[in-house]
Structure 1
């Protein structure tokens, strides 16, 4: 299980990425996809995902569609055109950031002499 602090800043991008690939999803479906794709290492709580979905909707990145499922209503989330652009930007930004972090994690102690003046 990964630290919630590590995931907090990436959750918006993860949601945008999933919606860019699946066109429309409901909240629990997003949670299950994250869990499945991460081999169970990321198991999001419902309380963590819905505030992000609501914020993305408020920002104009998502639209919602309410679908009656018997006596229940399921809310599907889809990207708006602005959301598609935001998804592309956020995915590129996160990919670049993860590459930078990967370089930092591969830093070799012998390279410290390069930075000594």
Structure 2
């Protein structure tokens, strides 16, 4: 299920959630964390990640800090205050979407009931 189109619409939510949990991260670190969490089922390419990061930055949802690491410049991304608030909104939207999908896929299972 690697790079399924189902994930593409959730990329910014994934990025924002990881930054909420980890404080700040650099691009490669984000890709590796997603790969680790999903046991390799989801891989985020640089071609998808960096445009999403730049868009979030331009919207004022991310701050960028540049540091020299091993004689190279590395960009670290972290949520702004607005980004923290938007992460809460995006997570609520995603949870509602998941509930609705579960209702469609398993109409006999009532929300909140566990099997």
Say whether the fold is shared (TM-score over 0.5): yes
Quote the Cα distance in structure 2 between the aligned partners of 1:77 and 1:28: 11
Quote the Cα distance in structure 2 between the aligned partners of 1:31 and 1:95: 22
Q: Aligned Cα RMSD in Å?
A: 1.1
Equivalent positions of 1:22-41 (< 5 A) are 22-41=22-41
Quote the Cα distance in structure 2 between the aligned partners of 1:104 and 1:74: 44
Contact kept in structure 1, 2:3 and 2:44, CA below 8 Å: no
The runs of 5 or more residues in structure 2 that have no matched partner are 109-115
Describe the SS at the equivalent of 1:41.
coil
Q: Which has the higher helix share?
A: 1
Partner in structure 1 of residue 14 of structure 2 = 14
Q: Report the number of matched residues.
A: 108
> Over alpha carbons, which structure has the higher Rg?
1
Shift of 1:39: 1.0
Shift of 1:71: 2.5
The runs of 5 or more residues in structure 1 that have no matched partner are 109-117
